[in-house]
Structure 1
Amino acid sequence: MDFTSRYVALGDSFTEGVGDDDPTRPNGVRGWADRVAEQLCAADPNFGYANVAIRGRKLRQILAEQVDAAVELNPTLVTIYAGANDILRPKVDIDDLLAEYNDAVGKLTATGATVVMFTGFDARGSKVFGTMRGRTAIYNELVRGIAGDHGALLVDYWRFSEYYDWGMWAHDRMHMSAAGHGNMAKRVLEVLKYDHSIDVPPITPVPELSRAEAIRANAQWFREYAAPWVVRRVTGKSSGDNLQPKYPQFTRL
């Protein structure tokens, strides 16, 4: 089928949909981008959706593997979020990375597509990821400049205070929950000025824990999620190894 409207989603686990589990979908996840595409497809029988995001990808990997693939699909809409996995590394040259990001966004906007970018989240509520606030703030200022220079739209994740509710996050504390992904879909559609009928999944309340319970919960989190994440970083492995894009060609949802 030839689609007259074509949305391509690029990025890492954020865009792939990790945290919004759905065993009926490719790679076992749904995510905000799928939710956005569902709304757009429902309104337009000639709308096609591709999602080439892969969890664990760093910025240069996303640019090398996904940007040219997106350009070849001749998109009319592109979303891209890259760099979060770089910020978490022990050392990173944000200026060099964002110079390459700038070139890639220029290539995407040159297709004539509407391009949507994202700032990084302010993780001040996390004792682990909150240590990266300074890096993320620098990243965000550079992203704002890139978006302004190329006429891209910006989803300002940094300012979304609703994500300070831990119910918006999955058990791994690294990815959004179904509620978080549903809310992000609404945020993206609002930036696109698109009327939608998204029903955001309810937030699962996070109970208050005693000091002893919190210590046990944190220990369990470290064993199940943090330690494997550290091991992958040390060994050069990725959670996205051996995974293929969810929707490498246009489809309808």
Structure 2
Amino acid sequence: MARKGATGAGPGPWNRYVALGDSFTAGLGDPEPLSPGGMRGWADRIAEEFSAARGDFSYANLAVSGLVLQQIVDQQLGPAIALKPDLVTLSAGGNDLVFHRRDPDRLAVSLDAAVAALSAAGATVVLFTGPDWGDTPVFGHIRGKVAVFNENIRTIAARHHGVIADLWTLRQLSDPRMWDPDRLHFSPLGHHTIAGMVLDTLQVPHSLQPLQPKPLPAGNWRETRAGDLAWATHYLLPWMMRRVRPRDGGAPPAPKRPEPGPVFGAPTNAAHP
């Protein structure tokens, strides 16, 4: 089945976007107390651009910081497919390579199966290559593994008609201002730059200007307390009741935005199909 593609005119053919991943997708490094989870990030910034162009757009973000690739697949793939997205971003494997030194070829096997399932469900799938940390003292030793994993990601994308968001070749990321002080996550400027790159890759017109991060729009999640309450009532609480189960040590970490809803204003009363 051929994927849905961007036309280059208008906001693109997508109206339901679901983001899967770890801290990168959750927005770590881009703090915004008034955004869900206290972080904004590139995925939120993409959703804001889509929502500004079409009123029927909805967005969910299932990312949880700290997860490795198999945890992302096990915990997020099924719920994502159940939400029936037509656009999915999936970034996974960074924690495996940085903290666990896992084999990039073995990681690719699990990633390939996940992308196959998302593509078969009808979604356009955007995959991210890892960034080029170069010869930095902390991460230079894994540069070769990242490069191998990136080639696997390109092969998987080609096999399943996916889209590559190429962090490896995004030269702007060599600017220290793009990075959080921890040198692992991106700064607000980095998240802004990545959002623009993804939208350009999808051939979606947008208002993101280089080196000029946009403030949080006035009419989104922080619009009113009533809007926040309505979002929690219609989306967050039902999701928690269906999915969160008590376990040793308390409830599992919750995704930042577990149900698809409008980015601007209070959600509608219509449940997703």
TM-score by length of 2: 0.75
Q: Which runs of 5+ in 1 are unaligned?
A: 204-240
Alignment of 1:43-82 (within 5 A): 43-82=53-92
2:187 alignment partner in structure 1: 177
User: How many Å separate the matches in 1 of 2:208 and 2:101?
Assistant: 39
2:26 alignment partner in structure 1: 16
The match for 1:112 among 102, 105, 122 is 122
Q: Is it true that 1:6 corresponds to 2:11 in the alignment?
A: no
User: How many Å separate the matches in 2 of 1:121 and 1:92?
Assistant: 17
- Asked whether the 8 Å contact 2:26–2:65 carries over to 1, the reply is yes
Q: Is it true that 1:154 corresponds to 2:164 in the alignment?
A: yes
1:92 alignment partner in structure 2: 102
Q: Is it true that 1:164 corresponds to 2:174 in the alignment?
A: yes
Residue identity in the other structure for 2:29: G
The match for 2:260 among 237, 250, 253 is 250
User: How many Å separate the matches in 2 of 1:94 and 1:159?
Assistant: 19
Q: Which runs of 5+ in 2 are unaligned?
A: 1-13, 214-250, 264-273
User: How many Å separate the matches in 2 of 1:57 and 1:200?
Assistant: 30
Post-superposition offset of 1:112: 1.0
Q: Could you list the runs of 4 or more consecutive aligned residues of structure 1 that deviate by over 2 angstroms after TM superposition?
A: 199-203
- Asked whether the 8 Å contact 1:27–1:243 carries over to 2, the reply is no
Q: Report sequence identity in percent.
A: 44
Residue identity in the other structure for 1:186: G
- Asked whether the 8 Å contact 1:147–1:153 carries over to 2, the reply is yes
What secondary structure sits across from 1:154 in the alignment? strand
Cα gap change, 1:124 to 1:6, in 2 (>3 Å): same
Post-superposition offset of 1:131: 1.3
Cα gap change, 1:201 to 1:22, in 2 (>3 Å): farther
Residue identity in the other structure for 1:145: T
RMSD (CA atoms): 1.6
- Asked whether the 8 Å contact 2:104–2:146 carries over to 1, the reply is no
Q: Count residues with an aligned counterpart.
A: 213
Alignment of 1:182-193 (within 5 A): 182-193=192-203
Partner deviation per Cα, 1:206-238 (whole Å, 9 max, x = no partner): xxxxxxxxxxxxxxxxxxxxxxxxxxxxxxxxx
Residue identity in the other structure for 1:155: A
Cα gap change, 1:21 to 1:201, in 2 (>3 Å): farther
